[in-house]
Structure 1
Amino acid sequence: MNLMKENMKNKKEETILRELEKIKEEAINSSGKKYYNISIKQIKKISPTLIFSVFILYYALL
């Protein structure tokens, strides 16, 4: 049972990371370092998915 919970947790984490990868934009600041910029519009677009995923993760860990 614990293995099943762990697998569910890992899948949900992977889903969240994939969604974040889709919306991030790579940029380079003036010092030449890379950073990732996510706009408020992008966050609003993905927030329902993230909230649902966090909710599922929380209950999967109980």
Structure 2
Amino acid sequence: MAGHTPPTEADQARIIERPDGFYWQDKITDEVFGPFPTLLDAMQDMEYNDESDYEPGETLE
């Protein structure tokens, strides 16, 4: 189908804010991860891929 983009991690998960922090939930498995102190921390964890060679803090330079 032309113009169709594959789902991203953000499409397959949602962020939940609770009094004790931020959580993210996998929409496919309903598994919940957290708490994280900030929204950014929750998003970074959600987007983390074990198969990636990228390390947090690593740059392309």
**TM-score normalised according to structure 2 size:** 0.27
- Higher helix proportion, which one? 1
Larger Rg: 1
Could you say which structure has the greater relative contact order, defined with CA pairs below 8 angstroms and 6 or more residues apart?
1
- Higher strand proportion, which one? 2
